[in-house]
Every structure is written in C-alpha cells, then in structure tokens.
Amino acid sequence: MPENKNNPDIEVSHGANGIDSTILANLAKEYGTPLLVMSENRLIDNYQRLESAFKKNYGNIAIKYAIKANSNPAIIRTLSGLGAGMDASSVPEIEIALGAGVDRNRIMFSPNYASRSELEFALNAGLVINFDDIGQFRMLSDIGVPDCVSFRLNPGFGKGEFPGITLSGPESKFGIPTSHILEAYKAAKDSGVKRFGMHMMCGSNVLDAEYFAIITSKILDSAGALKSKLGITPEFIDIGGGFGVPYKPEEKPLDIQKTAELVSREFKEKSEKYGLGGLQLMMEPGRYIVADTTVLLGTVNYIKEYEKMFIGTDIGMNLLLRPALYGAYHDISVITKPGAKASITADVVGEVCENTDAIARNRMLPRVSAGDIISVANSGAYVYGMSSQYNGRPRPAEVMVKSDGNTVLIRRRETTKDLLSTTVI
Ligand code: LLP
C-alpha cells in the first residue's frame, strides 16, 4: 500500500506519490530529467476518497475536477472514467476536456473577466456558466440566454494558504458581493433564464475542515434569500475547490471525512430551513485530487559552497514557480541517497538568471553530489501548468505509472524546435 499523505490512516510522506525510489531512479535514467512522474493509483485513490466521504453524508453530489490544476488529458480521461465532471476556466480547457471525451453536459465553465468570444463559445456549447459578474452575463444579451445560469458569490471573506491564493474578500477581483448578488439573479430571471445555480470559490489549499462548513453556510444564506426575495430555487450550490494537502512536514492532512460531514450537515440544515429541497451539492477540487499524485525528478548539476551552500539543479522557477511566487514549500528528497540523514543546509536553485530562482531556501538535506537525483513532492498540482520556457528551457516530459504497473509517456519533452514552433522568420 503506498503511503498517502491525504489519508490520515496511512503514514505521512510529505506529499510523495508512493512510487518506489528505485523505480523513480530508473525512470530518471530512461527518460532524463527534469521529469514528472504520476501515479495513477494515487489519482484514483484521491478521487474516490473524496467522493465516498461526501456521498456517505449527502447523496446528491457532483464533483467537477478543476482542470487548471493539471490539464494533462490522461488525467482528465482517468477522472472522467471514474464519473468526475470538469470545471474549465478557459476555452482551451473546455476544448481539452471535450477532446479527452468528456460529455459537454458534465463540463462547467468558470471564467473571470472573460472576453465575449469565450463566453459565446461556452453558450454555443451549451455549458453551464458560472458568471463572475452580471455584466459578463449581459455581454451575451444580443446572442442568447443560457439555459442554466450561475453567479459567483464573493461572501466578503476568504482563506487560502497565501494571500495570492485567497480568492474572495473585499480586495479580491472575483465574484459578486453578497449585497449585490440578488440584483444579478433578478436581471437573469427578467431576461428569461429558467434554471439556476450558485457558485463560490473562496481560496486554495485550506486544511481546516470547519472553514468549509462556514463558507457553505454563507452561500446557503444567499441561496435562501434568492428563494424568499425572488422566488428562485437554485438547482445546485457549488462550494468551489480549495481542499488542501499538506506540503510541510509539520502539517496535518485535511480530515476529509470530517469536512464532508460538517459541510453536508450545514447544507442539509440550511436547505431545509430555506425550503430548498433537492439541491445538488457541487464542488470543483483541483489540488486535492492531483497534488500528491506526482513527483518532479531533477538532477544535481553543480554545488557551490562558500559562506552559503547552493545546490544547483535542472529544476528552477521556470518549472516549479510556486516557491518563487508564493514562498511555497515543497518537500525534497535525494532518491540516489536512500536512508541518508540530513547533514547540510542549502538553497536548492535552478539554472535561471534570476535571484528568485530557488525551489527551497535553507533546506536541511543529506550531502549531495553532482549527478544525484532529487524528487520534489506534491508536483501534480499547479506545476506543469504554471511552468514556462523562460531562459530557453523546454518543458519536461510527463510519465504516468498506470494502475496495471506499466509506465506510459503522457507528454513528451519539448525541444528547441518546439520553442521556435510559433515564431515566424
Ligand atoms: N474553482 C475555481 C473557480 C478556481 O479558481 C480554482 C482555483 C479551483 C476551483 C480549484 O482550486 P483547488 O481545489 O485546486 O484549490 N496556483 C495556485 C493555486 C491557485 C488556485 C486558483 N483557483 C497554487 O499554485 O497554489
């Protein structure tokens, strides 16, 4: 049984994906580094744990995987096969989902500050759209009225691991404040919309079960007002994503059973109180499903040691941006030194010409040498998708270790030719 960080019953591994380090070292040899290695077993396990926790407590649920966390079609195909719907934030993400065989009635579109052409695409595709504002709905008024309309509520507060991933509150660009949400629904109703939902997404990587019940309660209060003031009964309430995973050794996994219990209890109590029978509980998790499915393998190129030690690797901010952007922590292990104790403190850096180019600062590690292979945990969410080709670095390959034990290439490594493929000489 692979260790699983999200499951409190299984030994904590700080986000490693359970694939044996000998297998990882062999994959690094075979495919080269940097390399992303995903465990399909872990992907299935994460999805099913989340689904069963909620299903146990509330029958009528829908999980829409947030494609932005990791848009590789192999992942989308596996999740779709398990019954997941998809949440897309852009037209290309819609196209990726459709291309991976996801039925259009299981794709939801949650854009913000979208162009008219993107909204029109979603309207014509017949998708449910989570509009970020009433003006976004009005942008379609001369084209048509969506069959089912949902607006994104900004409940006035939010919570995320970092300020950059706190997605609601007075300073946040997302959603409609509670004080104006009914105006949006009234306008949509007056335009002839018949079916409704309500949406929110308050922040990402939250490890506190109680918090999800608090925001659920908040959105149901707005749904209750929708019923009492406008006579609208929404068909679904989408509480967004945000379910966290532990990155730091001292962090405890989110108790997903407790989260599901507390959210469902709040959902049932408030929907009864407001006479909102038959509501579907919808959610759009990304990170919880994919973060710890994948490790990022890199090679130590060179070590510089004066007053401070720098371990130079082929993984930089071009590939793993989160530490430079948010100060995020990712666990690092040296897979070619199994069992070695941490004896040095160093910054682990990449090859990019920026001083923010570090994937770990002042990290305790075993003493490493050039040629050692490192493994960076929790690299399944917001890693490949946020990477760039900065400094002329092609993006890495991705492989998936399938549930039958076979390894398949799910994205080839880019080449210099790929870097130039869009240029015109
Ligand atoms: N739904 C919407 C509308 C979202 O904006 C997001 C994430 C999700 C769902 C999925 O959230 P999750 O379950 O993954 O927390 N780049 C950042 C994370 C930004 C999250 C943005 N929105 C990071 O690397 O931590």
Give the pLDDT of the chain (425 residues) as one tens digit per residue: 334 444 443 333 467 899 999 999 999 999 999 999 999 999 999 999 999 999 999 999 999 999 999 999 999 999 999 999 999 999 999 999 999 999 999 999 999 999 999 999 999 999 999 999 999 999 999 999 998 999 999 999 999 999 999 999 999 999 999 999 999 999 999 999 999 999 999 999 999 999 999 999 999 999 999 999 999 999 999 999 999 999 999 999 999 999 999 999 999 999 999 999 889 999 999 999 999 999 999 999 999 999 999 999 999 999 999 999 999 999 999 999 988 999 999 999 999 999 999 999 999 999 999 999 999 999 999 999 999 999 999 999 999 999 999 999 999 999 999 999 999 98
Query: Residue 379 Cα, ligand 1 centroid: separation in angstroms?
Result: 14
Task: Please tell me the distance from the alpha carbon of residue 197 to that of residue 278, in angstroms, as a whole number.
Answer: 12
Catalytic residues, by residue number, are 353
Binding site membership of 244 for ligand 1 (Cβ less than 6 Å): no
* Comma-separated ranges of CATH 2.40.37.10 domains in the chain: 21-38+292-419
Distance CA 379, CA 415 (A): 22
- Beta-bridged to residue 371, according to DSSP, are none
SS3 content of the chain, % helix, strand, coil (to 5): 35, 20, 45
Q: How far, in Å, is the centroid of ligand 1 from the Cα of 204?
A: 5
Q: Give the nearest ligand 1 atom to 243 CA.
A: 13
pLDDT of residue 7: 44
Sign of the C-alpha dihedral computed for residues 378, 109, 80 and 168 taken in this order: positive
Instruction: Say if ligand 1 is within 6 A of residue 47 CB.
Output: no
Statement: the pTM of the whole predicted model exceeds 0.85: yes
- Out of 1.10.645.10, 3.30.465.10, 2.40.37.10, 3.40.50.300, select the CATH number for domain 21-38+292-419: 2.40.37.10
The residue with tokens 């901010």 is: 317
d(CA 42, CA 295): 12
Q: What is the CATH number of domain 40-290?
A: 3.20.20.10
Give DSSP secondary structure letters for 341-356. Answer: PP-EEEEEE-S-SSTT
Write the residue with the smallest CA distance to atom 22 of ligand 1: 204
**Residue 241 in contact with ligand 1 by CB distance below 6 A:** yes
CA pair distance 274, 280, nearest whole angstrom: 15
CATH 3.20.20.10-classified regions of the chain:
40-290
Q: Which of 172, 205, 284 has most ligand 1 atoms within 8 Å of CB, for mutation?
A: 284
Length of the chain: 425
